[in-house]
Structure 1
Amino acid sequence: MDLSNLDQDRLPKHIAIIMDGNGRWATKRNKPRVFGHNEGMKRVVDVVENSLNIGIKYLSLYAFSTENWKRPQKEIDFLMQILIKYIDDQLNKLVTQGVKINILGDISVLPEKVIQKIEYALDSTKDNDKLILNIAINYGSRQEILRAVNTAIKDGEILTDDEFSNLLYTRNQPDVDLLIRPGGEKRLSNFLLYQMSYAELYFSDIYWPDFKLESLIDAIYWYQNRNRRFGGLK
């Protein structure tokens, strides 16, 4: 697809994606849910590459929520395994491409092997700035906000909006411009609630494993045709 038709002056700086529909995609094909997660990981590789090519500066992906611990242990274990595989397979490429990995969420409760892989990826990409890739793992927005509030209370400070924002996992990043949720559901699912105050919300019936470049371009076209007033009248 020709990217030249996109208005480069009106690209969203920060795109957030709730990667939904992996399990249902697999079930429709009479495959186990983990088959869908594996296919969904291929789309992660694609969306990072496509975001770089388009010129997106911040990309936030909802990989594993605090609520996902309710899923069967076998599925949880597989999700941890494909995260490790993603780092193993893609890290060198991400470093070369200038991608910086940032983690949203509390990773202290993850398996030690997963923590070590994440910490290695964070250290390897810390100096990059072409694309900031936020990966939300064991993340919940209410918990993030409560964590920031408790920090402010502990320090006894009255904070401005910018100061409070810098207590969040997305500190020093712009708010989300465009939220994309494939999979047919129309809710935020406790994802970046504070950061999405004025985000444009794009919902698609396409399951995440089928959400390829054309779907991403469609979402950005839709965004570029929105009239973003931010509470004003323009």
Structure 2
Amino acid sequence: MDISSNFMILIGRGIWNVIAKARQFIKSFINNTDRYIATMKLDASEKHIEIKLHRHRPRRDALRAIKKHTKSHVSHSWKLLVQRLIRETAQNVKLDRFTSSRNYDLNKIPTLEKKPNHIGIIMDGNGRWGKEQIGDRSYGHKNAKNAVAEAIKGCSEQDIPYLTLYAFSTENWDRPEEEINTIFEVIDEGITQYKDLFTALNIKLCVVGDKKKIPSFCANKLSEVEDLTQNNTKLQLNLAVNYGGKEEAIAACEAIVKDTLLNFVDEFYSKGFNNNSPFESLRNFLRDYRIKITPTTYKQYLSTGHLPDVDLVIRTGGKKRLSNFLLWHCAYSELCFKDLYWPVFKKKHLMEALVFFQGQQRNFGGISFPVPDPCFK
């Protein structure tokens, strides 16, 4: 073996030692209120590590940490590696965009000026994603739980008071039995898995929809967590299961008719009529009887009448429709459609929707006028 080969072997070993040491010194960084957490890839091994750097002096901090850990002089090779690390961190993380925090998380959404009070999400695309991945629609439903957690945590971080997730519609009963069973199993597993998260984040779970047809094992779990979280106050998570907007409207109309008939009879008797009154008297009374139903009255009969109107609807999966989702509450919702499938939904996609919401001028059928300049006369 010639001298040049030996030299190349020594260089290779030196580079490998530098990378090996880089993996070790990362752990020596000290928590600081003005530091940032960044995740980056060091080499072809695809190993990701987490480092903390000061926003104003990342290179100095890195070099000091290396010297402290190795207890030796910082060589030129180390300096080159640090420069590479800092450069990649700046490109991937953009440190100057974030505000410092002791436990800062890069996935946390920055604060926004205008926030929706109620967000509704139509979680579409699970089956298609599973079909594309391994040819099985159920696989997509089984991998949807992480996206749910991302949406919940993102809304909690942004102090959104209400979040409604469309989990299973009344029309979904037309799907294959195996897929339906998988969906309810996933709902049951997800509720069990995130029960502690609801408590930790002060989240109240409410189920909207007809529970009678939901499999008992799933319905019991939903009721259990509803009872467990009923006093939580930060975020109300509404899970729409076996829900349909048209069905809700029909049920509300039936309830209104029933109450109206009962009120009519009570009022009829209160006018002095009785069982012996002629039928003609009943007909005349009915002809003059007036029923007044206002939007407020109608909403009181909805099973979701306790919920505020939806300000922002997010739908994944690329389709552009409401699919019978909270039709009354979505009358003036801003609609944000995402081309990605639900299993790959992240907090950054929620952030994109919130940024979209910032740019919407909400007139609710009226006309917006520019705010007059107080300096103009």
TM range (shorter): over 0.9
Q: Aligned-pair distance for 1:167?
A: 2.2
- Count of aligned residue pairs for this structure pair: 232
Q: Which residue of 2 aligns with 1:43?
A: 147
Q: Aligned-pair distance for 1:93?
A: 2.1
User: Which residue in the other structure is 1:201 paired with?
Assistant: 335
User: Which amino acid is 1:56 matched to?
Assistant: I
Residue of structure 1 in register with 2:123 after alignment = 19
Distance 2:133 2:216 in 1: 34
Computed over aligned residues only, the root mean square deviation of the Cα atoms, in angstroms, reads: 1.4
Task: Give the whole-Å Cα distance in 2 for the aligned partners of 1:65 and 1:94.
Answer: 24
- What are the ranges of 5 or more consecutive residues in structure 1 without an aligned counterpart? none
Structure 1 residue 159, shift from structure 2 partner: 3.6
Contact 1:103 1:169 in 2 (8 A): no
CA distance in 1, matches of 2:111, 2:165: 25
Q: Is the 8 A contact 2:111 2:158 kept in 1?
A: no
- 1:121-160 alignment to 2 at 5 Å? 121-156=225-260, 158-160=292-294
**2 CA distance for matches of 1:192 and 1:77?**
24
**Aligned mate of 1:221, from 334, 343, 355:** 355
CA offsets 1:116-155 (integer angstroms, 9 cap, x no match): 1111111111111211111111111000011111111111
Name the SS for the 1:3 alignment partner.
coil
Which residue of 212, 219, 222 maps to 1:118? Answer: 222
Q: Which runs of 5+ in 2 are unaligned?
A: 1-106, 261-290, 369-377
Match of 1:55 in 2: 159
Residue 309 of structure 2: aligned partner: 175
Distance 1:115 1:45 in 2: 20
What is the match of residue 4 of structure 1?
110
Structure 2 residue identity aligned to 1:218? E
The yes-or-no answer on 1:233 pairing with 2:367 is yes
What residue number does 2:203 align with? 99
Task: Give the whole-Å Cα distance in 1 for the aligned partners of 2:306 and 2:249.
Answer: 16
User: In the TM superposition, what is the alpha-carbon distance from 1:158 to its structure 2 partner?
Assistant: 3.6
Separation in structure 2 between the aligned mates of residue 16 and residue 72 of structure 1, nearest angstrom: 26
Which residue of structure 2 lines up, in the alignment, with residue 68 of structure 1?
Answer: 172
- Residue 210 of structure 2 aligns with an amino acid whose one-letter code is D
Q: Give the number of the structure whose alpha-carbon radius of gyration is greater.
A: 2
Match of 1:189 in 2: 323
Using the TM superposition, give the Cα deviation of residue 171 of structure 1 relative to its aligned residue in structure 2, in angstroms: 2.5
Q: Following TM superposition, by how much is the alpha carbon of 1:2 offset from its aligned partner in structure 2, in angstroms?
A: 5.8
Q: Distance in 2 between matches of 1:172 and 1:54?
A: 22
Q: Any runs of at least 4 consecutive aligned residues in structure 1 with deviations exceeding 3 A, and if so which?
A: none
**Change in 2 beyond 3 A, CA 1:176/1:73:** same
Q: Percent identity over the alignment?
A: 39
